[in-house]
Structure 1
Amino acid sequence: PRPHRTTAPSAYYVAPDGDDANPGSEARPWRTIQHAAESVGPGDTVYVRGGVYHEAVAILVSGSEAGGYITFRNYPGERPVLDGTGLSDPDGVNAFYIEDQSYLIIQGFEIRNYTTTLRNSVPMAIQVTGASHHIQILDNEIHRIETHAPVDADGLGADAHGIAVYGNRATPIRHLLIQGNHLHHLVLGSSEAVALNGNVEQFTVTQNLIHDTDNIALDFIGFEGTASDPAYDQARHGVVVSNTIYNVDSASNPAYGGERSAGGIYVDGGAYILIERNRVFSANIGIELASEHAGRATRFITVRNNLIYHNQIAGIAMGGYDTLRGSTERCTLVNNTLYHNDTLQEGNGELWLQFDTRENVFKNNILYANDQGLFISNPYAQNTGNVVDYNLYFAPTGQGGGQWQWKQTTYTGFEAYRSGTGNDTHGLFADPQFVDETAPDLHLRATSPAINAGENLAASGDQDVDGEPRIQEGVVDIGADEVGRQTALTPSIYLPMVVKHP
């Protein structure tokens, strides 16, 4: 890294018609982003002019707390494109690679066409690894990151990522902000559009748009051995807020052999993560909290004020996908709206409790089933201590035709479910009266029975899905939308010790 200096921060420029022998001024710009990534110092900004750059950039400099962030960004009003066409590396090509660096901003790039046909070669748009910290990834468009490598009998060997953050040191990757990015049309193999894996903490993932991917959109991972000590080998203490995710489907992905199992938001072994005010639709699974590793748990996740609809397999899934996996423990799911999930009608319903779910809370949610009429599927007797109450249910089948599967017993009818399970003693079966079921617009009409029908909980937060005050008439509404006359608050993003710099 460049040594500390006492001069004022500078602006440098890169352009397709530049020359790395130039001084990097606006009149005489550099030619490559890589040259800039080896030359600038704390507080500097690198403006990249519009045009196409065929580069794999390893950032070898850091900003500092005293000197400020180093920013790599688009020249205002122009669109720099990093295009991987023609680039190759046996390990996979990254458009931006950051290892053990800090105080960096990557903003305003289009990144495309980083692809491979080689097994175990992993192309990525942006990779952050080592003990990097204070990293911001802002307002980039990432697409056509693809693996077309053959897979083995277990579906392994083909991987690609849009954004990958791998904490593989004893010192965590921390103070990470991923905001305002557009990721789409990704061919990912066994990997994900955005993955935070291993020793990663104090992160915010917000206001991103992710769609048309053949595997998981957002993944927060633990216990894969990315970090050597299991005590810190998990993504933790983060916020996932106000993202929009759709068209996430693994059916065409060779790594899954036609199985639909891709989640919009997936916590696999993470802990202490807040997931709120997101919209997830037309994925295989809307939101999933699980642990793929036996003896390990996803814990202390709060899922609140989300809209989850038209997902093929389930709205929310929790627990290990079979009895050889880990558990989901002490998670809180409140004030979500689930509408017409399990569209393939595979018997999972709106809420799917898989293997080994313990001491979770599910309250103040709207579950509006499709004509299958299945609200909850909980087939495992080992699932214990889960609290389910103050939820509102509705389906075209009517109250008498609704179904709840609870610990190997199927209850038909709302009263049979309540008396047989002890759940939802304060629950309702009623039409929530959405504004428009066709569009859908899942806001509540002023006459909705969900209004003022919930339980006031600190876990519900202070804002609904639209950033409006969460409690407006003394009692919280059921579902993601709060009806009232107050105007929206300034949206809170709850950045955990992260500040976005201009």
Structure 2
Amino acid sequence: MKTFSKVHFKSIRAFIRKVTISGFITSLIMATGIFSTTYYVSTAGNDSTGTGSLSLPWKTIQKAANSIAPGDIVNIASGTYREQVTINSLSGGSAAGGYKTFTSYNGTVYIKGSDVVKSWVLHSGSIWKKTGWTVNSQQVFQQYVPLQQIGWPDPAFTEYEGTLKKYNEIGEGVGDMFAGSFFYDDAGDTLYVWCRNNADPNTQIMEASVRTRVIACYGQYVKFTGLNMLHNNSLDTAQMLGGVEIGSYNEVSNCIIRYMDFTGIKFALQPVGARIIDCDILDNGCQGFGGTGVGTGTLVRNCVIRGNNYRNFTTTWNAGGSKMAGANDIIIEHSEFTGNNGCAVWFDVGTAMGDKKTVIRNNYIHNNINGSGAIHIEIQEKAEIYNNIIAYNSKRGVYISGSDYCKVYNNTIAYTSERESIGIGGLPRTGYTCSYNEVYNNIIYNSLDIDLFIAKRSDAVGNECNNNLFFSTARSSVVLKILNDDGIVNTYSDLTDWKTATGFDTVSKRESPQFLSQTADQYPLQSTSPCIGAGIFLPEVTVDYALSLRNNPPDIGAYEY
């Protein structure tokens, strides 16, 4: 047994982080070049009299962004900066001059889209108000924890997309408030709060989101590292914006992006070479990261995406860990998606160009609720999903819906609560097919509903499924379903009958995978596992979940013994 195959997800992430940081330092040295200058920003600085030096720092990050040249570094001193930092398309770095880099210095840096709200007046009972408040704040925080919004977010946010309602609001006005909630009266320019524990807001730290974005970076070759970014306010302006928006050759690394009102990080303007590395993307209003028309060379690596869609937007519309529309060249790897309200990873309406493809590999995707699947590939081409541990998700493990040429390889999918662990179908769907998809070398373990659902019909041809292992400790049978042209779903409880009737899974097995343990994300194999050497060689999958080399033939599942 390879020693590394026992490593926990956190250890793997730490290892990759070390490699990434080393690469970042090297690239930083190369990118900044010999003529780079280091500048300083401090909450005690001055934009008028400061020079950006250590002794005379600027006060705002925006001043630094407006003043530096390609290759320069901005060291931001510890403290809270309440501003929106905008870098327009003509103000970035350059391939020749290097990156503009913004990094924390000498402590923790917070960049917030919120303002502190004081001087509350008692309205009635335990409800307090702030009059003359002209911003429709989408989020209000008491002691850094959000209150529940009452009513519809804003008229700018349309209620329906077709027949699908996009948000599940609570109440309509002040009369529906309860302890731990807030309401904004747009007509009266008044913000109301009812604090948790009936507290007086004048004795609490009360923050309300006011700025549309925290970072709006549309210039190329810009890096942000080591920053905490929170509390934007976009839905009073438009739909589908991000608290942090990045463009081509932008990188966000070692940052925490939390409590944005809609999307945590958005890929904007069809970026090329945008990267999110070693970040924690937590508790954002609708989704952790996403974008529409995402460009080529996009990378998300070694991140934690947790607790997103805390505002409870409709999960079949646009919510959860991530949703990417129109993406055709992106890698999501070595990341953890957990506790999201909706799909963990969702790709929608993407057409592959040439050899471009979507890759989702070596991720730990667990305990996500609602949505259509932990991983949902919808109307997409050439998605490769391999070496993932997908466990304890509420609905579907991997769902390939109306998509072609997708590959589902060497995943360990365990304890899926509802629907199938792997689904190939989503049909009929006018104008789309679900053809030439491949499902190989997967462990499907303890599904609580359906093990596998696959379409085999005129709009779903050339699909292949084999070298998989199915097992449940709760039942002595499999649950395999196939959708035919007549719309009838046939169900098979015997693997041999399934093989004979469908031609799928001719060498697949139904027996215990013999995991070494199931603690946290641990699903490595014992020496007697029937998964060992039972896979088919796949050139895309050269290493396993823990980065150990694959044998030939490889093992079934995410781990190689």
Is this a same-fold pair by TM over 0.5?
Answer: yes
CA distance in 1, matches of 2:481, 2:554: 28
- Given candidates 390, 406, 414, the residue that maps to 1:308 is 390
Does residue 340 of the first structure (1) align with residue 340 of the second (2)?
Answer: no
Task: Answer yes or no: is the 8 Å Cα contact 1:114–1:123 preserved in 2.
Answer: no
Task: Answer yes or no: is the 8 Å Cα contact 2:99–2:221 preserved in 1.
Answer: yes
Task: Answer yes or no: is the 8 Å Cα contact 1:196–1:220 preserved in 2.
Answer: yes
Aligned to 1:17: 44
Change (3 A) 1:205 1:199: closer
Task: Answer yes or no: is the 8 Å Cα contact 2:43–2:77 preserved in 1.
Answer: yes
Q: What is the SS of the residue equivalent to 1:68? A: coil
- Given candidates 417, 421, 425, the residue that maps to 1:353 is 425
Aligned to 1:82: 111
Aligned to 2:511: 430
Per-residue CA deviation, residues 59-112 of structure 1 (Å, 9 max, x unaligned), is: 14221122111101111x41110111139599861111022x111101111011
TM-score for the superposition, normalised by structure 2: 0.69
Report how far residue 334 of structure 1 moved.
Answer: 0.7
Question: After superposition, where does 1:74-473 map in structure 2 within 5 Å?
Answer: 74-75=104-105, 77-86=106-115, 93-99=212-218, 101-115=219-233, 118=236, 120=238, 124-128=242-246, 132-146=247-261, 160-167=262-269, 172-188=270-286, 192-214=287-309, 215-222=319-326, 235-249=327-341, 262-270=342-350, 271=352, 272-284=357-369, 285-291=373-379, 298-319=380-401, 327-341=402-416, 343=417, 345=418, 347-351=419-423, 353-355=425-427, 356-372=433-449, 374-378=450-454, 381=457, 382-399=459-476, 401-407=477-483, 408-437=489-518, 439=520, 441-460=522-541, 462-471=542-551
Report how far residue 218 of structure 1 moved.
Answer: 2.4
Q: What is the SS of the residue equivalent to 1:133? A: coil
Q: What is the SS of the residue equivalent to 2:43? A: coil
Aligned to 2:189: none
Q: Report the structure, 1 or 2, having the larger helix content.
A: 2
Q: Considering only CA atoms, is the larger Rg found in Structure 1 or Structure 2?
A: 2
Per-residue CA deviation, residues 24-80 of structure 1 (Å, 9 max, x unaligned), is: 0011100000101111001100000110011011014221122111101111x4111
CA distance in 2, matches of 1:276, 1:111: 27
Q: What is the SS of the residue equivalent to 1:416? A: helix
Per-residue CA deviation, residues 197-239 of structure 1 (Å, 9 max, x unaligned), is: 21511111101101001222122211xxxxxxxxxxxx22221
Q: What is the SS of the residue equivalent to 2:554? A: coil
Aligned to 1:32: 60
Task: Answer yes or no: is the 8 Å Cα contact 2:234–2:242 preserved in 1.
Answer: no
Q: What is the SS of the residue equivalent to 1:415? A: helix
CA distance in 2, matches of 1:84, 1:119: 14
Change (3 A) 1:187 1:380: farther
CA distance in 2, matches of 1:264, 1:349: 14
Q: List gaps (5 residues or longer) in structure 1.
A: 147-159, 223-234, 250-261, 292-297, 320-326, 484-502
Q: Report the structure, 1 or 2, having the larger strand content.
A: 1
Q: What is the SS of the residue equivalent to 2:92? A: coil
Task: Answer yes or no: is the 8 Å Cα contact 2:456–2:463 preserved in 1.
Answer: no
Higher relative contact order (CA 8 A, sep 6+): 2
Task: Answer yes or no: is the 8 Å Cα contact 1:115–1:123 preserved in 2.
Answer: no
Report how far residue 418 of structure 1 moved.
Answer: 1.2
Q: What is the SS of the residue equivalent to 2:63? A: helix
Task: Answer yes or no: is the 8 Å Cα contact 1:93–1:122 preserved in 2.
Answer: no
Q: Structure 2: which amino acid aligns with 1:141?
A: I
Change (3 A) 1:331 1:74: same
Q: List gaps (5 residues or longer) in structure 2.
A: 1-31, 117-134, 137-153, 157-210, 310-318, 428-432, 484-488
Identity of aligned residues (%): 23
Report how far residue 368 of structure 1 moved.
Answer: 0.8
CA distance in 2, matches of 1:203, 1:440: 26
Question: After superposition, where does 1:38-49 map in structure 2 within 5 Å?
Answer: 38-49=66-77
Report how far residue 349 of structure 1 moved.
Answer: 3.9
Task: Answer yes or no: is the 8 Å Cα contact 2:294–2:325 preserved in 1.
Answer: no
Q: What is the SS of the residue equivalent to 1:478? A: coil
Report how far residue 481 of structure 1 moved.
Answer: 0.4
CA distance in 2, matches of 1:268, 1:121: 18
Q: What is the SS of the residue equivalent to 1:106? A: strand
> How many residue pairs end up in the alignment?
409
Aligned to 1:256: none
CA distance in 1, matches of 2:391, 2:539: 25
